[in-house]
Every structure is written in structure tokens, then in C-alpha cells.
Chains A and B, each alone.
Chain A
């Protein structure tokens, strides 16, 4: 109260100190964001992860090698054989160009740059979150939000070192664009408006270029924007476009998902198998929220309410961002990533407000030996943020350090408020400067602070655990802990290296689309389909071949000039995401285009099984044969450890394919198509060679099915 007037001199010093401390804290947050994502490098090695990053890596390699002009005109003939793919026109170039320029200016090692792009941009995203939240609710909230974002598990899952993908950078671009937008709103400055436009463009380049070109999506974006605009009072259309557009982009970037499937998920999962087959498109259950945003889920409602008290342009924007993203995250688990920054911002605001009240209560009542009942000023509706300026002297030692700097905020905010004439809602801003000290009982406040710290501590433990245990596996190298120590399964790279060294450079390799990017990037061989699933018919052709008997499959592959077929098999070591487990999707996708492939033929009474009860169609299809060829030689019983059963047909020979390479743990098996001459011999031999009596007849019966390529 009395402190208002006399704080001129000390407050400047305090502000300066607070500023320095704030910068220091931000630096630490950046270090935290970077280092929590390094678990993958420490536990495994500096390697690109998963599937899509391999494509991005390959594109970046091309860019750095050949320059930007060649990159724009790049027609890739190593994939989608014989169609090829125009990379320059169909890729989201933002990520590649970002990493390319980092390579150009900073480091000369492409792979290192690619591996560490995601952690670096996570740090940037944390700083951007600080800026955005600062615009909404002040520095304290900003620092807490940044710290929360630095380690939110949902974002970690997409941005560990090595996951060189659009999402890692896109979240930074998203938050930064939002910041510039809010900043433009708050200041009315042309400078920020221009920056905002540029940043929006960057975000679009990262993702939406293609999405906005596709008529369906573009149209939907406009439609939904207007739909929301009709009942949202404060937001301008542009903002909404940011928001919704981004959601679409997110949804779209997995190749096929359109906004349609956000709203009518049932439709998509029923009729578009390729969407339904991606587990990321499933709606999440409540544990997903606890896993991905953890205790933030508890704090967000408090943040929402704090944003309404008082409601400003910036805070209404934050509420809108949260509400749209939380709704869409409920539809598709993948969109949890977009929710994460919003949840961090809201929780930051909530925590900051709570700490604000509790620390103030302690501070004002601690020297409470003298009777100190807060004098009865009138109760005004100004939120605590507008009035804590004078009353705070120093930070509470035990709480989050970020509290200290939250005081420089209000004066600037008020200045800005006056500048803005057209604020819609009437905050009784600085007219009532009479402050009543709003405090809670001392001991209750102390316990509350303690509880909040415990909550924050749990969050940190959870995030570190999630980063270390759940999200750091590169999925290209696998490990497992057995009683006798650590086992490393490096079969994928073994297989790709074999292909690279033992096959002709122009040979075509067929596999299910999951392995397309990796094959082109690591083995440098031409593939038929890859993870950019743009041509459903082509994928269906490969699915049909895998579901057909040997001869029909051979004909399909031969007509595509395929030399080698690669299958992933986990039955020996118990690796569950192998091709046999994905096989029903191959059947479904194949059957969607070529009706002679019928799913019921592969199911016994609606059950998918590969044991003795399996249907003859299943036991004779190419995928079964390539996966289980010679499998009985491993343990004598042919026990599949993924399906936990003995396989149905153990002894058989291949007529049209020959095994050329099987990796150490049998996880990848590579077969070569026999040349036509051998094929005839194989055919003549067949009745003798197949040991199981029934199989040869069935095989011949199966061969009468028509080949889609004839």
C-alpha cells in the first residue's frame, strides 16, 4: 500500500536484476529443452529415427549436395517405380531449407545437423512460448510456461534428437506465429505485423503448401473458419485460420488425412483403410492425456479461468487456441502435439497466478507479529496481476525462480492498454488504484505452495522418465533387456547395408510401404512404394502381391521390374510390428482396389491366425511363405514368439523366389525373384518338392486368380 510511491529508485534496480535473472532462466530452459531430448543419442547413438525422418534426411542430403535450384526441380526416380515422384513440388520444403541453411552457416556435417535440428528447435519453441505467454499474462507466467513446454512429453515424443521431422520445427513456427500475432494485436505495430506475415509464411512453407493446394482441404479450412467465426466474438477471421489451418495441416501431413476425418472419423476409419491403419489417428483415451501432458491436465482449467479474469485480446486468443486444440486432440491422438503448447501456456498462467496469490499471502503476513489486518478498501475486480506491483519485495526462495521477474510486467501492460482504444471488454484497468490486499491464511498458503511444488516435481520426474524410457527409441535399432544383459538388434541397418553392397544400383526392391523411405535413404535402391502414400492403387498392387500365391505374386513383381523382395519378420525374436501383423492391412488395402483379394479368405471364423487352423489362402500367400521360409530350422518347432503359437505350415519350398539374405535375428529377410527360366523348372518340380500333400493342389487352385497387371 504505502510502498506505491517510494519504489521509484529501488524498482529500477529490481527490474534490471529481474531482467538479467529472466534471461538466465530462459537460457537454462533452453539447455533443459535441448538436453532432455538427448537421451536417444546417449542411450543409442546419433542416428536418424523411424521412417519419415529418413526421407527428410535424404532430401536434405540432396539439397546440400546439389543446391537449391536442382532441389526445386528434383524428380526422384528411386521411388514409386515406375511412376517416380516430383520431390521439389510435393515436399514441405520448410524443414529441409531450415536444416540446409543450418548446415550452410554453422556445421558441415549433414547428419549431425539433421539429428540435432529437433532439439534445437524445441529450445526455440520454449522461448517462443515464453514470448507468447508474456504477451498474455506477464513474465512470470511466460517463464513457467516455457519451462513446462521445454519438457512436455507430448512434444518430446516428436522432437527427440534424431527425429528429424516437420512437427518439431512446426511447433516452434506455430507458437512464434501466434506470438507475433498477439504482439501485433497488443501494440498495433506494423513491424510486428510484417514479421507475423513472414512467420506465417514460414509456417505454411513448413506444412501447408500442399494442403492448401488440395481443393478439399482448402475449402474446408475456409468453411470451418467461418463456422467458428460466427460464434466467436473476439477473434478475427485470420487468427482462426491460423488455428484451424494448422490443425488441418497437422492432420494432412500424414498424407491422406483430411479435415473430413477430423469431423467424421467413423467414416474414415470405416472406408479408408490406409487412414484407419495408422494408430496415430485413433481417438485418445484419458491415460493418453496423462501420459502426454501429465499434471498440466489438472492445471489447464485454472488457466482458462484466469484468462477470463480479465479477458483481453491476447488471453481470449489463448483460450481459443486451447479450446480448438483440445477438441481436436480428442478426435485424433496425433493432434495432442498441437494441444501441448496450449496446455503449457494455460498451466503456466494458472501456476503463476497461484504462486502469485500464495507468495503474496506469505510475504504480507510473515511479519505478522504486529496486528496486520488488511484495511478495508473497496473490493475491485482487478485481477491480482494489476495490483501486485508494489506489494512484492523479493521472491519466495523456495518457489520457482521465475516468480521474481513477474513484476516488471504490469506497468508495461497498462501502458499498452491505454494505447489500445478499441478494447472490447471493459477492464476497470488502472482507474481504481486503491488496492485491497487480497490474501489467504499464511499456513494454508505455505502448504499450498508446497503441494504445487510437489506437483511440479512429479511433472519433472514424469517428463524425464518419458523422455528416457518411452520416447527415445529410434526404432531402427532395437534393444531389449534380458536377464543376461542388454541385447541390441541392429537388423534393419544390416539388411539395408547388404542391399547397398550386394545388389546392382538400379535394382528395384519391393517391400511394404513402411520401409520405403528407409530403403531409399539407407540402401539407395529404388522402391515401389514408400511412406508418402500418395498413390493408393500402387500400394494396393504391392498389397495384392503380398497376399497372392507365389506365382501370381511373382508375375506382379516381375511386371514391376522388381528384383528383390524385403519382408520384416519378428517371429524369432518377438518383434511385434512385423509384416505378419501388418498383413491384414495389406489384404484390406489390396482388396480395396483388386476385389479378388477378399479378407474373409484369410480369416478363420473371423480370427486372424497363422497356426494349423489358418486358412489355405493364408498359408499359401507370399507373405506367409517369405516370413516363415526355413523358420522350422531355427528351433525345430517353428514357434512364433509374436503370435505365441506354432506356425501352420512348417516345411515348404519356394518356387519363384529364392532367399538371398536373412539378418542375424531374422528380422529382415530378403528374397530374389527367380529368373523365368528357373521358374519353369521350379514349376515342373513342384509336385514332388512340396512335402505337405495338400498344399500343391491348393497352390494351383490359387494360381487361377487373376493378376491385376494382365
Chain B
């Protein structure tokens, strides 16, 4: 480590000078490696950000058997908002792979460190994207030492992205023949937070214990359990499990008219999130109204108040039931009809 550090510092100073001085003469391979290493040190996770210039410098205009290989993650800022691409998530997973790789090889010789993790953004380096022939994201490329042009480089199978960092690491290992090592994920809560939580728990423990001994916690409150039971009911009849399992969005955008949002989906096999909650609410509200009338309202002394509340309650309940029946008929296309004796027909 020690002998390298001054060297790096030196390089840091030297490289810009070098570039400016000898833009005509092509840099040697060692120069490029040193430059890449510098860039890597500058980035917190070790992912080097490439643009059109650096791509041409490190790949296209570099001599063919390069002494390093690049793993390139293709990113697009404008597509990050699309939830089904998971670009930002994948990008952070890529950074994890990079830092894990660095951590695993921290003490090994520099040759194994000649794998550089890079990312490239669509907006600022469109020509590089066309150079690689990348048309769809997410996309991960391996450019080995012997790859002549960017198009020859090998891309990761699309299916692999579902397994995130692990499959990226496998891809890197398979291509570079260098182990990535265990993926080091940052713990969900930092040590400082743990300490804080522990202290908070310690302070509150006496109070909690006292309340538990008194039987005075929320868990001893019957109303809590009642609310919980009703909530589980609401949760289930709203079809929330369906939405979670199928990853349904809350609403869709109308294809013909992008300003309009579709909240209700016609066809019984599928439902949208907002739709489920709306109907689950309608399901639950009627029962709550009935319970309110039979258990609470009946205790009210004021007859006028009773009358008014009953009127509102009946209207709301009637509307809710009618709405659900209407929505169900609309959604499923069924029309329920009664069966009458034939002699009753007129």
C-alpha cells in the first residue's frame, strides 16, 4: 500500500498534465490503467463514470490487447422514473458488486484489480450507446482485454437482472475468471442507530414493564384487537394480497388520453390497487355503520340526533351496497336475475 500511495498522488497531478501535453501521442497501456485506478479511487463505490470521451480513450482508441477489462452498466436518467425497469435499484446493486469486489481484493496484487466497474449515462453519451448497440435497458456489458470493438463485448442475460447483485457477480466471475467475493451489503440500520435504539429501549423499559404488569398496554386493550380484526378483514376483501402478489399498480394511465387515469379495470381476473381499496372500504363501511347503529347510536339519549344519524347512515349504507352491486355487474359482466314461477309472468 505504502509505496503506491505517493505514486497515485503523483499520477493525479501528472495525468492532466500528460493529457494536455500529449494529446496527439496515444497514451501507453500503463498510463490508462493508472488513470482508471485514479478515477476509481475518486468514486465512493469504485464505479467509474464514463462518457463519450472516456469511452473512446479507454476502449476504441486504446490498443487492442488492453491490460484491463471493463464492466459497464448502462444507465439512463430519464428512465429512472419507470418503476418496472428498476434502474436505480440495479445501479446501486452494481455499486455493491463493485465495492464488494474491491473489498475482496484489497490485499491482493494489482493485476486482479484490473477489472474496472463503470457506468455510462444515455443522455450525455448517446454515441457510446450506439457504439455498443445498446437499445434496451437494463444492460450490463463486459469488455475484455481482447475485445476488438465495443460491439464484440459480451452482455449479461436479461433474465439475470432479477437476481440483482448476485447474478451480476456471477456474470463478472464467469467473464473475468476472478472471484468477486461475498456481496457485502450495508446493514439495514447503522451501528449508531442500533446504539440509539438500545438506549431508548433501556430508558423506556421500566415504564413498559410497569404498564405490562398493570395490564395497561395497547395489547390489553380490546378495542385494539377489534380494530386489528376489522383491518385484516378490510385488507383481505380489498384483494390487497392479489395486488401484492401480482404487483398491481394503484391506477393506470389511459392509453388514448394520457391525462386520464384509469382506476377501475374491467374484467374479473384483475384489479387495480385503488379499485381494491375503494371497494374494500365500501365492503367495510356498511358493516361498521350497522355496528355503530346497533351498539353506539342506541345509547344516545337525544332522539333528534339519533334520527339524523340514522338517516345519514342508511343513506350511506344503501349507496355503498348499490355502488358495489353496480360495480360488480359492470366489472364481471354478470347480471343476476331471480327465478319466478312461470304462471307469474305477465
Chain A interface (Cβ < 8 Å from any Cβ of B)? 231, 233, 265-266, 269, 282-291, 295, 297-306, 308-309, 311, 319, 322-323, 326-327, 329-331, 350, 353-354, 356-357, 379, 383-384, 425, 438-441, 444, 447-448, 451, 455, 458, 461-462, 464-465, 468
Chain B interface, >50% SS class: helix
Contacts A323-B232, A441-B306 given; does A283 touch B226 at CB 8 Å: no
Q: With a CB–CB cut-off of 8 A, which chain A residues contact B268?
A: 285, 287-288
Smallest CB gap from B297: residue in A:
A440
Smallest CB gap from B287: residue in A:
A301
Q: Nearest Cβ in chain A — how far from B63, in angstroms?
A: 40
In the complex, A448→B268 CA distance in Å? 32
Contacts A286-B280, A441-B310, A465-B337 given; does A354 touch B293 at CB 8 Å: yes
B331 lies within 8 A of chain A by Cβ:
yes
In the complex, A444→B293 CA distance in Å? 11
Q: With a CB–CB cut-off of 8 A, which chain B residues contact A301?
A: 230, 233-234, 283-284, 286-288, 290-291
Q: With a CB–CB cut-off of 8 A, which chain B residues contact A447?
A: 314
> Which residue from B283, B299, B303 sits with its C-beta under 8 Å from A297?
B283
Supply 20 further A-B pairs (C-beta < 8 A) apart from A285-B242, A299-B290, A451-B318.
Answer: A284-B242, A285-B269, A285-B276, A286-B237, A289-B239, A298-B286, A298-B287, A300-B233, A301-B291, A304-B230, A305-B226, A305-B287, A306-B295, A308-B229, A331-B245, A438-B299, A441-B303, A448-B314, A458-B325, A465-B339
Q: With a CB–CB cut-off of 8 A, which chain B residues contact A451?
A: 314, 317-318
Q: With a CB–CB cut-off of 8 A, which chain A residues contact B332?
A: 287, 291
B99 lies within 8 A of chain A by Cβ:
no
A440 and B310: CB pair below 8 A? yes
Q: With a CB–CB cut-off of 8 A, which chain B residues contact A309?
A: 295
B239 and A330: CB pair below 8 A? yes
> Which residue from B223, B294, B321 sits with its C-beta under 8 Å from A298?
B321
> Which residue from B230, B298, B303 sits with its C-beta under 8 Å from A384?
B298
B246 lies within 8 A of chain A by Cβ:
yes
Smallest CB gap from B162: residue in A:
A270
B299 and A379: CB pair below 8 A? yes
- CB interface residues, B 299-331, toward A, < 8 Å: 299, 303, 306-307, 310-311, 314, 317-318, 320-321, 324-325, 328, 331
Q: With a CB–CB cut-off of 8 A, which chain B residues contact A297?
A: 237, 283
Q: With a CB–CB cut-off of 8 A, which chain B residues contact A461?
A: 336-338
In the complex, A327→B238 CA distance in Å? 11
Contacts A297-B237, A304-B230, A461-B338 given; does A266 touch B245 at CB 8 Å: yes
A290 and B310: CB pair below 8 A? no
B291 and A285: CB pair below 8 A? no
* 30 sample A-B contacts, Cβ–Cβ < 8 Å, listed by A number: A266-B245, A283-B246, A284-B239, A285-B276, A288-B239, A289-B237, A290-B328, A291-B328, A297-B237, A298-B287, A298-B317, A298-B320, A298-B324, A301-B290, A305-B291, A308-B222, A308-B229, A322-B229, A322-B233, A323-B229, A330-B236, A330-B241, A354-B290, A356-B294, A438-B298, A448-B293, A448-B310, A451-B317, A461-B337, A465-B337
A465 and B317: CB pair below 8 A? no
Q: With a CB–CB cut-off of 8 A, which chain B residues contact A284?
A: 239, 242
B262 lies within 8 A of chain A by Cβ:
no
In the complex, A295→B328 CA distance in Å? 12
B275 lies within 8 A of chain A by Cβ:
yes
In the complex, A330→B280 CA distance in Å? 12
Q: With a CB–CB cut-off of 8 A, which chain A residues contact B233?
A: 300-301, 304, 322-323, 326
B279 lies within 8 A of chain A by Cβ:
yes
Smallest CB gap from B317: residue in A:
A451
In the complex, A285→B243 CA distance in Å? 8
Q: With a CB–CB cut-off of 8 A, which chain A residues contact B306?
A: 440-441, 444
In the complex, A212→B227 CA distance in Å? 34
Q: Nearest Cβ in chain B — how far from A318, in angstroms?
A: 10
Smallest CB gap from A351: residue in B:
B290
Q: With a CB–CB cut-off of 8 A, which chain B residues contact A458?
A: 325
B263 lies within 8 A of chain A by Cβ:
no
Interface size class for chain B?
Answer: 35 or more
B251 lies within 8 A of chain A by Cβ:
no
> Which residue from A233, A285, A289, A357 sits with its C-beta under 8 Å from B298?
A357
Contacts A285-B276, A441-B306 given; does A330 touch B235 at CB 8 Å: yes
> Which residue from B232, B242, B331, B339 sits with its C-beta under 8 Å from A464?
B339
B98 lies within 8 A of chain A by Cβ:
no
B15 lies within 8 A of chain A by Cβ:
no
Chain A interface, >50% SS class: helix
B271 lies within 8 A of chain A by Cβ:
yes
B290 and A326: CB pair below 8 A? no
Tell me which of A303, A311, A326 has the highest count of chain B C-beta atoms within 10 A of its own C-beta: A326
In the complex, A447→B314 CA distance in Å? 9
A327 and B321: CB pair below 8 A? no
> Which residue from A265, A295, A302, A462 sits with its C-beta under 8 Å from B288?
A302
> Which residue from B290, B307, B339 sits with its C-beta under 8 Å from A468?
B339
B298 and A439: CB pair below 8 A? yes
In the complex, A290→B328 CA distance in Å? 8
Smallest CB gap from A350: residue in B:
B290
Q: Nearest Cβ in chain B — how far from A286, in angstroms?
A: 4
In the complex, A270→B288 CA distance in Å? 38
Contacts A287-B332, A330-B242, A438-B299 given; does A299 touch B287 at CB 8 Å: yes
- CB interface residues, B 238-257, toward A, < 8 Å: 238-242, 245-246
In the complex, A322→B233 CA distance in Å? 8
Q: With a CB–CB cut-off of 8 A, which chain A residues contact B299?
A: 379, 438
B32 lies within 8 A of chain A by Cβ:
no
Q: Nearest Cβ in chain A — how far from B97, in angstroms?
A: 24
In the complex, A304→B236 CA distance in Å? 14
A306 and B294: CB pair below 8 A? yes
- Among all A-B residue pairs, the 3 with the closest Cβ atoms: A301-B287, A330-B236, A444-B310
Q: With a CB–CB cut-off of 8 A, which chain A residues contact B337?
A: 461, 465
Q: With a CB–CB cut-off of 8 A, which chain B residues contact A304?
A: 226, 229-230, 233, 287
In the complex, A290→B320 CA distance in Å? 13
> Which residue from A291, A331, A353, A444 sits with its C-beta under 8 Å from B241?
A331
Q: Nearest Cβ in chain B — how far from A292, in angstroms?
A: 11
A305 and B230: CB pair below 8 A? yes
B275 and A286: CB pair below 8 A? yes
B270 lies within 8 A of chain A by Cβ:
yes
Q: With a CB–CB cut-off of 8 A, which chain A residues contact B196?
A: none
Q: With a CB–CB cut-off of 8 A, which chain B residues contact A329?
A: 236
B128-171, CB under 8 A of A: which get 1 and which 0?
00000000000000000000000000000000000000000000
Smallest CB gap from B244: residue in A:
A283
> Which residue from A286, A353, A440, A455 sits with its C-beta under 8 Å from B279?
A286
B271 and A285: CB pair below 8 A? yes
Contacts A286-B271, A441-B306 given; does A462 touch B294 at CB 8 Å: no
Q: With a CB–CB cut-off of 8 A, which chain A residues contact B235?
A: 327, 330
B241 and A283: CB pair below 8 A? yes
In the complex, A233→B318 CA distance in Å? 37
Q: With a CB–CB cut-off of 8 A, which chain A residues contact B311?
A: 444
Q: With a CB–CB cut-off of 8 A, which chain A residues contact B331?
A: 287
Tell me which of B230, B239, B287, B337 has the highest count of chain A C-beta atoms within 10 A of its own C-beta: B287
In the complex, A288→B331 CA distance in Å? 11
In the complex, A266→B244 CA distance in Å? 10
Q: With a CB–CB cut-off of 8 A, which chain A residues contact B271?
A: 285-287
A444 and B307: CB pair below 8 A? yes
Contacts A285-B269, A306-B295, A357-B294 given; does A326 touch B314 at CB 8 Å: no
Smallest CB gap from B271: residue in A:
A285
In the complex, A444→B297 CA distance in Å? 12
In the complex, A549→B232 CA distance in Å? 51
Q: With a CB–CB cut-off of 8 A, which chain A residues contact B293?
A: 354, 357, 440, 448
In the complex, A311→B311 CA distance in Å? 30
Contacts A283-B245, A301-B284 given; does A455 touch B321 at CB 8 Å: yes
